[in-house]
């Protein structure tokens, strides 16, 4: 059942990304370009996502465990440390350079294009390298 | 100046709402945070290292679902969503590499920190979102208005 949940959640996520315009690097870039012809749409993508997710969190607050697993699995770290800030800073730079963040990079594989792979494969390399660096920090 | 011609508030809100719904479903049923970079990294680790295979199947199913998403969009509208790249070749490769490295080190991306983290009022996620938004705005400013690329 966890597998079905993963698939359903993934499809809804990919559809949401498609409808929102997040798969279009030009639109992402127009959102990040405050000094140019600024397109604020993506702020509303985050807003819409937050509203629904915050409401869901409030509803789920009374539950002690998820429907199909034994426990809610949440990140344990509470400190704002160097890897978090350096990593986030790097991510912002890469996001602005390519116009894609990880979710849209995955969804873009649906286009079966060379461009999609030319972003996705290096992203995998980066993610894997980070896990190694992480274990040594 | 706000570019009113390209401003798409309705599809942004509906698409964003679906992203929030997807995160809520994954959390309610599997107890997992919907973070695109984290799920991808853990799936990759599971594929490469047999010892880390726990949770691989739902993660792969999720990733397959994300790729099916634009196909569902095509069934509904007749075409894949509009996608016009701002980078090619070397710049695209470097961007992908930095995004992977950054989200790996920073333990999350726009979905994990931006949607899920902020929704449970995580201070770490707030710090991450402020940081990647700031460097994103700054990089775009430098590239578009100073370097002219």
Q: Do B119 and A67 touch (CB under 8 A)?
A: no
Contact (Cβ atoms closer than 8 angstroms) between residue B12 and residue A41: yes
Q: Where are the domains of chain B?
A: 9-147
Give the count of domains, chain A.
Answer: 1
- pLDDT bin (cut points 50, 70, 90) of residue A131 is confident
Contact (Cβ atoms closer than 8 angstroms) between residue A68 and residue A2: yes
Residues of chain B with Cβ-Cβ distance to A57 below 8 Å are 24, 27, 119-120
- pLDDT bin (cut points 50, 70, 90) of residue B5 is confident
Closest CB to B19: pick one of A45, A71, A88.
A45
**Ramachandran region, residue B7 (left: φ > 0; alpha: ψ -120 to 50; beta: rest):** beta
Residues in chain A, overall count: 137
Of A68-77, A92-101, B86-95, least confident by mean pLDDT is: A68-77
The sign of the CA dihedral B112, B118, B122, B126 is: positive
Closest CB to B109: pick one of A28, A91, A110.
A91
The yes-or-no verdict on residue B2 having pLDDT over 60 is: yes
Q: Identify the three-state secondary structure at position A39.
A: coil
- Would you state the pLDDT for residue A135? 67
- Would you state the pLDDT for residue A110? 98
Interface with B, mutate which of A56, A83, A98, A112 (most B CBs under 10 A): A98
Nearest alpha-carbon partner for A127 in A111, A105, A107: A105
Residues of chain B with Cβ-Cβ distance to A110 below 8 Å are 67-71, 80
Residue carrying the six token digits 């949440």:
A74
pTM passes above 0.90: yes
The yes-or-no verdict on residue B104 having pLDDT over 60 is: yes
Q: Please write the tens of the pLDDT for every residue from B36-65.
A: 999 999 999 999 998 889 999 999 999 999
Q: What is the interface pTM, i.e. ipTM, of the complex?
A: 0.97
Q: Do B34 and A9 touch (CB under 8 A)?
A: yes
Q: Please write the tens of the pLDDT for every residue from B69-85.
A: 999 999 999 999 999 99
For A50, the domain range is: 2-136
């Amino acid at each position: 059942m966890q597998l079905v949940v993963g698939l359903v959640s993934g499809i809804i996520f990919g559809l949401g990304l498609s409808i929102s315009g997040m798969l279009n690097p030009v639109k992402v870039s127009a959102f990040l370009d405050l000094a140019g012809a600024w397109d604020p749409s993506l702020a509303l993508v985050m807003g819409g996502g937050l509203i629904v997710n915050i409401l869901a969190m409030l509803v789920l607050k009374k539950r002690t465990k998820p429907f199909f697993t034994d426990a809610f699995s949440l990140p344990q770290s509470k400190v704002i440390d160097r890897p978090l800030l350096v990593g986030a800073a790097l991510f912002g730079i890469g996001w602005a350079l390519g116009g894609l963040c990880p979710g849209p990079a995955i969804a873009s594989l649906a286009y079966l294009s060379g461009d999609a792979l030319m972003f996705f494969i290096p992203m995998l390399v980066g993610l894997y390298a980070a896990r190694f660096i992480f274990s040594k920090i | 100046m706000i570019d009113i011609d390209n401003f798409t508030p309705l599809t942004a809100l509906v698409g964003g709402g679906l992203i929030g719904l997807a995160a809520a479903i994954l959390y309610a049923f599997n107890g997992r945070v919907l973070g695109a970079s984290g799920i991808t990294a853990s799936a990759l680790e599971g594929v490469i290292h047999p010892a880390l295979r726990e949770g691989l199947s739902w993660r792969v199913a999720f990733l397959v679902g994300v790729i099916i998403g634009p196909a569902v969009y095509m069934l509904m509208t007749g075409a894949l969503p509009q996608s016009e790249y701002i980078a090619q070749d070397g710049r695209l490769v470097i961007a992908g590499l930095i995004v992977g490295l950054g989200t790996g080190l920073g333990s999350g991306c726009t979905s994990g920190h931006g949607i899920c983290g902020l929704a449970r009022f995580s201070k770490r996620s707030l710090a991450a979102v402020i940081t990647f938004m700031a460097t994103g705005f700054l990089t775009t400013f430098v590239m578009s208005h100073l370097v002219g690329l």
